[in-house]
């Protein structure tokens, strides 16, 4: 059996979090809630049969929008998936982004004015899972767990995520 230990090795100067703030720190699925904006670095160590190995996890708590915003688009790059959707304003993996596509969005004004259209840039995800080198961001106070994000066109937001960098 593998022994797993998570520890908080760095938090922003105003943070009150410590290693004891990490729930389930002896499992593969820990979680914690950032208390101030900034970077948090954790170390996870696995030990099996006397052989230990450690990796670092970096989480950035950002001042992100309160609401998720769905962006649907047809990627312009031939290698990108067609009719993809993604979500802006929450947890994401920068290294999981493969293509940058141009998207056209329409918005109908509440007072009955004509809909307006505009062009914006959207990110097409290359894969649902993360990998070493990914950087993850979350809203302040958002619970961070160890589930992989899911990028869908069904209207649901990605799961909060803690990933190894």
Alpha carbon distance 80, 43 (integer Å): 35
Alpha carbon distance 28, 47 (integer Å): 12
Residue 38 has a CB neighbour count (10 Å cut-off) of: 17
Tokens 């995800």 belong to: 125
Is pLDDT larger for residue 130 or for residue 97?
A: 130
Q: What is the DSSP letter of 161?
A: B
pLDDT at 76: 53
Q: Which two tokens stand for residue 2?
A: 């593998």
For the chain, which residues make up each domain, given as ranges?
1-165
pLDDT at 131: 42
Tokens 């649902």 belong to: 128
Alpha carbon distance 49, 111 (integer Å): 67
Residues 64-119: tens digit of each pLDDT: 544 444 444 444 555 444 444 444 444 443 333 333 333 334 444 455 555 444 33
Rg, C-alpha atoms of the chain = 19
Alpha carbon distance 72, 70 (integer Å): 7
Residues 28-60: tens digit of each pLDDT: 778 888 888 888 888 888 888 888 888 887 777
Q: Is the pLDDT of residue 10 over 80?
A: yes
* Reported confidence tier of residue 140, pLDDT bands at 50, 70, 90: very low
Alpha carbon distance 48, 55 (integer Å): 15
Does pTM top 0.85 for this prediction? no
Is pLDDT larger for residue 102 or for residue 138?
A: 138
* Reported confidence tier of residue 156, pLDDT bands at 50, 70, 90: very low
3-class secondary structure, 98: strand
* Reported confidence tier of residue 7, pLDDT bands at 50, 70, 90: very high
């Amino acid at each position: 059996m593998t022994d797993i230990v998570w520890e908080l090795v760095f938090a922003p100067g105003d943070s009150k979090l410590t290693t004891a703030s990490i729930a389930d720190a002896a499992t593969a699925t820990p979680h914690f809630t950032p208390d101030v904006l900034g970077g948090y670095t954790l170390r996870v160590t696995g030990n099996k049969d006397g052989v230990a190995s450690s990796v670092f996890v970096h989480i950035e708590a950002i001042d992100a929008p309160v609401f998720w915003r769905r962006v649907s688009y047809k990627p312009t790059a031939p290698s990108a998936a067609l009719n993809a959707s993604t979500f802006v304003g929450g947890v994401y993996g920068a290294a999981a982004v493969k293509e940058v596509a141009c998207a056209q969005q329409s918005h109908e004004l509440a007072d009955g004015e004509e809909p307006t259209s505009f062009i914006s840039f959207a990110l097409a995800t290359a894969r649902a899972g993360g990998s070493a080198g990914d950087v993850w961001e979350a809203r302040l106070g958002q619970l961070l767990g160890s589930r992989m994000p899911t990028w869908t066109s069904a209207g649901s937001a990605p799961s909060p995520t803690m990933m190894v960098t």
